[in-house]
Amino acid sequence: MIDAIQDRFRALPKAELHVHLEGALPLEFLNRLAADKGRDPIKPDIFAFKNFEEFALCFFTTTSLLENEEDFYQAARAFVEAQVKENIVYTECSFMPGFHVKRGVKPEAMFQGLYSGLQDGMKQHPVQVKILFSISRMFGAEAGEETLDYIRRFPDDHILGIDLAGMEVPDSITPFASCFKEARAMGLETVAHAGEFSGPDHVAQTIEILRPKRIGHGLGAALDNRVCRMLAERDIALELAPTSNVLLGAAASYEKHPLAKLMEMGVPVTLNSDDPIFFSTSLSREYAIARTIMGLDEDSLMAILANGFQYGFLGSKDKSRTDDQ
């Protein structure tokens, strides 16, 4: 049954707002890249992580294959192709430039490859892919300023804004307040991961201090009706990724995931794959799981699907293109 529902949702045009480009590269592409570099192939068991720390190690291992302009070009092309196969006509993907530069990648080569790969991919397919530059909390507040500097030095029409990600450790909100304020002054959109492994207070503080337009994950908000009302009243959408949440331990199980409760509280939600290659999932599979395991009805799923377009940072030109799909 789940396969039939997955096929049906794969056939529907969709938007995805929370997917990390580096975590969405098909294994076939990664192993082709590894072979070209004379490295050992990546074995599927690397994705059998049990917590966020092991997940991060997996992320570091796979991304180490991206070294030069051609690598990033081919990665961007592979990402577009993967989204096309899922019939995702509009994507806002996160990409972490600071992480790659810190491991020795030349920024000029990285950005040229990324932008060219996305552009060439979109020339072949009637889809739109935009970028949110992701800032890792583990690199500190200076990573935020460095990311804004990259946007100034390497501007491109694909760039929408910034996204704060990484483990929600104590005092990981206020240090980024000036960065988010500056980003808004630059005309950039803002998103922040919050409430993935933390409670409702962290979500509320993120909203008040950083003022993001969307929250990545945010399932911790379900523990406090006050925070749910805050999200609903301010029309701040949550980017939920059930499989990611279950496999990383943010949710005990699909059945105990707070998606349904958040919807009942009037919180706008979207469904996403997060890092599909790491979690052996896809956006259509997330919809199928929500229907068969999490118990959402058809109307709820179609409302979530519509939210993907409604809460995306679509400009009028982009929206007219995807509305025709």
We report the CATH number of the domain holding residue 319 as 3.20.20.140
From 43-52, 64-73, 164-173, the region with the lowest mean pLDDT: 43-52
User: What is the residue range of 128's domain?
Assistant: 2-323
- Region 147-159 average pLDDT: 98
- Region 22-46 average pLDDT: 94
The two structure tokens encoding residue 231: 């999200």
Find, among 94, 97, 100, 314, the residue nearest to 217 by Cα: 94
From 114-128, 144-158, 163-177, the region with the lowest mean pLDDT: 163-177
From 21-35, 78-92, 231-245, 307-321, the region with the lowest mean pLDDT: 307-321
Q: How many domains does the chain have?
A: 1
Question: What is the pLDDT confidence band of residue 317, given thresholds at 50, 70 and 90?
Answer: very low
- Region 186-198 average pLDDT: 97
pLDDT above 80 (res 315): no
Q: Catalytic annotation on 196? A: yes
- pLDDT of 127: 97
Q: Do 176 and 141 contact (CB within 8 A), yes or no?
A: yes
- Distance (Å) of CA 179 to CA 169, 175, 305: 18, 8, 31
- Region 179-202 average pLDDT: 98
Reported as a single tens digit per residue, the pLDDT across 240-299 is: 999 999 999 999 999 999 999 999 999 999 999 999 999 999 999 999 999 999 999 999
Catalytic option among 196, 208, 239, 255: 196
pLDDT above 80 (res 323): no
- pLDDT of 278: 94
From edge to edge, which strands make up the β-sheet containing 269-271?
Answer: 14-20, 88-95, 128-136, 159-165, 189-194, 214-217, 237-240, 269-271
Element (H, E) at 77: helix 69-85
* 52 or 250, which is more confident: 250
The separation between the first and the last C-alpha atoms of the chain, rounded to the nearest angstrom, is 27
DSSP alpha helix (H) spans, 19-68 = 27-36, 52-63
pLDDT above 70 (res 116): yes
Pairing mode, if any, of strands 214-217 and 237-240?
A: parallel
Question: What is the pLDDT confidence band of residue 316, given thresholds at 50, 70 and 90?
Answer: very low
- Distance (Å) of CA 325 to CA 13, 30, 84, 225: 7, 30, 12, 37
- pLDDT of 149: 98
Whether the model clears a pTM of 0.75, i.e. scores above it, the answer is yes
SS3 238: strand
Tell me, what amino acid is at 130?
Answer: K
- pLDDT of 167: 87
pLDDT above 50 (res 212): yes
- pLDDT of 54: 87
Element (H, E) at 95: strand 88-95
SS3 189: strand
pLDDT above 90 (res 321): no
Q: Following DSSP, what letter does each residue of 245-295 receive, concatenated?
A: HHHTTSSS-STT-THHHHHHTT--EEE--BSHHHHT--HHHHHHHHHHTS-
Q: Do 162 and 148 contact (CB within 8 A), yes or no?
A: yes
From 55-64, 147-156, 169-178, the region with the lowest mean pLDDT: 55-64
Tell me the average pLDDT of the chain: 95
Handedness of CA 236, 238, 272, 5 (dihedral sign): negative
Find, among 225, 151, 219, the residue nearest to 184 by Cα: 151
| 238 beta partners | 215, 269
